[in-house]
Chains A and B, each alone.
Chain A
Amino acid sequence: MHGLTTHTPARRIDRHARIGEVAHRRSRLRLRGAREGGAVSLNVVPLVDVTFLLMIFFVISGSFDVSEGVLRSGIVPAAGRSGTTALPLTPIVIKITSSVEVPGACSLELAPFGHRPSSFNELRRILSGIRRQPGFDEQAPVAIRADDGVLWEHVVNGWNAALGAGFSNLAYADSAD
């Protein structure tokens, strides 16, 4: 018979049954694998990509978005002012002097009242009290006079205190005035 092994019907059935069993076992394995995470896997590389992109985005936007604002002081240079506001009897001058002993430090004086606040918070409290006195209101001119060595930070602190106290008509006075 052409050299081929002959199968009896019983053997053929047995063989088919075995093939079916193997196929069934294989399919069961595949299914179990899919269910248990063998075939379905989380591709982590794009996730890392997106995470890094988000990180870069927040780092860059965070560092460039400086929370800066404008002190709407209405400051005009004292020498060139041409305002029409009537001057009160006693204009307020915040004198800021650089400290000789401590570099970067400064001392404050409120003329002509003679107050010597020890901090800008105290300056603000005193200015608030002055604003409520007769002859002063929020339009009363306040001049900030700082000497050459005073840090710009202190000058801005001075006029931030004046604004915080409710004054809106500020002038930057030349220290030579």
Chain B
Amino acid sequence: MRPTVRGAAPRAGIGFIILPMIDVIFLLLLFFVMVTTFEASARVRVDVPDPEDSQARKADLSERLVINCEYVAPAGSKPFDVRYRIGGDPPQSLDDIAARLAAAGKSNPNSVVLIRADRRLPNAPVREVIRLVSETGLQKIDVCAKQDLER
């Protein structure tokens, strides 16, 4: 009778396969990176100006009231269109934005407004927003621009 080694057979069946684990870990990582990116900034795609030797610095957007001014490609006879939205909210009219800015100004007059306007827009529609901000009593406006990555 051949001598059997106890546990030899089960040991052959139990193995640690690392590749599916790496797969799952990367999937989880991917998921969390995507979710946090979208949630943290609620960024709307805006092609912000890219000045030469930019002085723009990284800043915490969560402390700012972000107003997005999006460029909408020309349709029909209109040269272009503008869409305004606060943060990642749905597009709003200037009147609605004025109401929200007024509420924000009342609750915290020191709120800083950050204008994220598309570089292809003319000055006029952005000035409308800046005018609204000044009318609601908010005193400080910053603008968004691309950073100089070589700095």
Interface 9-residue window, one of A22-30, A66-74, A110-118: A66-74
Residues of A within 8 A of B64 (CB): 70
Interface residues of A in 146-175 (CB under 8 A from B): 146-153, 155-157, 159-161, 163-164, 172, 174-175
Residues of B within 8 A of A43 (CB): 19
Question: In the assembly, what is the distance between CA of A54 and CA of B143, in Å?
Answer: 34
Residues of A within 8 A of B144 (CB): 68-71
Contact status A72-B57, CB under 8 Å: yes
Q: Which of B58, B121, B135, B142 contacts A151 (CB 8 A)?
A: B121
Known contacts A60-B30, A70-B56, A160-B55; A146/B142 CB under 8 A? no
Known contacts A64-B37, A156-B145; A120/B56 CB under 8 A? no
Question: In the assembly, what is the distance between CA of A69 and CA of B149, in Å?
Answer: 10
Contact status B52-A156, CB under 8 Å: no
Interface residues of A in 22-75 (CB under 8 A from B): 43, 46-47, 49-50, 53-54, 56-57, 60-61, 64-75
Known contacts A70-B56, A148-B124, A155-B126; A76/B118 CB under 8 A? no
Residues of B within 8 A of A157 (CB): 49, 51-52
- Whether a CB of chain B sits under 8 angstroms from the CB of A80 is yes
Shortest distance between the CB of A148 and any CB in chain B (Å): 4
Question: In the assembly, what is the distance between CA of A148 and CA of B131, in Å?
Answer: 13
Shortest distance between the CB of A103 and any CB in chain B (Å): 11
Residues of B within 8 A of A75 (CB): 140-143
Residues of A within 8 A of B121 (CB): 151-152
Bin the interface of chain B by size: 35 or more
Known contacts A70-B114, A70-B144, A152-B119; A175/B19 CB under 8 A? no
Contact status A172-B59, CB under 8 Å: no
Contact status B26-A54, CB under 8 Å: yes
- Whether a CB of chain A sits under 8 angstroms from the CB of B53 is yes
Shortest distance between the CB of B70 and any CB in chain A (Å): 12
Contact status B134-A79, CB under 8 Å: yes
Residues of B within 8 A of A150 (CB): 122-123
- Whether a CB of chain B sits under 8 angstroms from the CB of A82 is yes
Question: In the assembly, what is the distance between CA of A148 and CA of B55, in Å?
Answer: 25
- Whether a CB of chain B sits under 8 angstroms from the CB of A121 is yes
Interface residues of B in 12-64 (CB under 8 A from A): 19-20, 22-23, 26-27, 29-30, 33-34, 37-38, 43, 48-59, 61, 64
Q: Which 8 A-B pairs have the closest CB atoms?
A: A69-B56, A77-B134, A80-B134, A46-B19, A153-B119, A69-B147, A160-B51, A156-B49
Mark A residues whose CB is within 8 Å of B: 43, 46-47, 49-50, 53-54, 56-57, 60-61, 64-77, 79-82, 120-121, 124, 146-153, 155-157, 159-161, 163-164, 172, 174-175
26 contacts between A and B (CB under 8 A): A46-B22, A50-B26, A60-B34, A66-B146, A67-B147, A68-B48, A69-B57, A70-B59, A70-B61, A70-B114, A73-B143, A74-B142, A75-B141, A77-B130, A80-B134, A82-B139, A124-B53, A146-B123, A147-B123, A148-B122, A150-B123, A152-B126, A156-B49, A156-B145, A160-B56, A172-B130
